[in-house]
Copies of this chain bind each other. A is one copy, B any other.
Amino acid sequence: MCELLGMNCNVPTDIRFSFSGLLERGGRTGEHRDGWGIAFYEGRGCRTFHDPLASCDSEIAQLVRSHSVKSLNVICHIRKATNGRVCLANTHPFTRELWGRAWAFAHNGRLRGIKKWPLVFYHPIGTTDSEHAFCWMLDQIRKAHPTAPRSDAVLRRLIGELADEISQLGIFNMMLCDADTLYCHCSTHLSWLTRRAPFGEASLIDTELTVDFAAETTPDDVVTVIATHPLTRHEPWEKMDPAGCVVFRDGLVVGQR
């Protein structure tokens, strides 16, 4: 299995604190040694870093940890390969363009039989079940909406239905982002936490690191972090329901079921 980390905010925010906790699970406190990747949105642009090496040994991960990138939306993934060999092409997050938007996707779980589902427009570059599921979702979204729908609610409902359909095949904990909105689906494990004023301190579970968010934020900041398992102690992480979908925008929940 893999681990996921996402962030959705109302102001560009630095993910390095949470990322540092996740990295430890990539071979040190966790067994996810088969690569890692991260997608940061900056405006409409999406910057990705990928490495098929374990994150705890990766020079690129050290760069990301030492380099401040502020972003409204981030998706990050550390991999324990279950389907598809260890190589760059099989390293999440995957990205594709739809409606002139950069979509990014990462998945934790196993989907038996998904590769038999026919694809029309988007095709996997690697060989994972995850990338096939992502291509299938975008195919269905494009088929239903050749141009972007005006209603965010319509898109949220469709994405929720597609996630439900895929999750019939196995475990589908996933994060999907279109630069504005972060869609999460939980089969087994996904927890989230919203930080807002008054900000306090937080300490990572996986390594000795504490941050005082009061010193790093303004009173209007709203920052939501989503992770496979809580990354910090003594903060009110909320566990998503199995088969639940939670959709975030500007750091807030805009859809949930």
Contact = CB atoms under 8 A, between A and B. Distances in A.
B121 A44 contact: no
B43 A88 contact: yes
Contacts of A63: 59-60, 63, 67
A124 interface: yes
A97 B96 contact: yes
Contacts of A121: 121
A11 interface: no
A19 B58 CA distance: 22
B42 A87 contact: yes
A195 interface: no
A244 interface: no
A123 interface: yes
Contact of A125 (B44, B49, B59, B122): B44
Interface in A82-141: 87-91, 96-97, 99-102, 121-126
A145 interface: no
Contacts of A207: none
Interface in A39-66: 42-50, 59-60, 63
Nearest to A101: B125
Nearest to A102: B125
Given A60-B63, A63-B63, A121-B121, A45 B101 contact: no
A100 B124 contact: yes
A220 to B, nearest CB: 24
Contacts of A88: 42-43, 45-47
A69 to B, nearest CB: 9
A65 to B, nearest CB: 12
A43 B90 CA distance: 11
A222 B179 CA distance: 41
B48 A48 contact: yes
Nearest to A58: B67
A45 B126 CA distance: 7
A89 B63 CA distance: 21
Contacts of A44: 89, 125-126
A91 to B, nearest CB: 7
A214 to B, nearest CB: 27
A61 to B, nearest CB: 11
A45 B99 contact: no
A75 B30 CA distance: 36
Nearest to A119: B100
Given A87-B45, A88-B43, A89-B45, A99 B126 contact: no
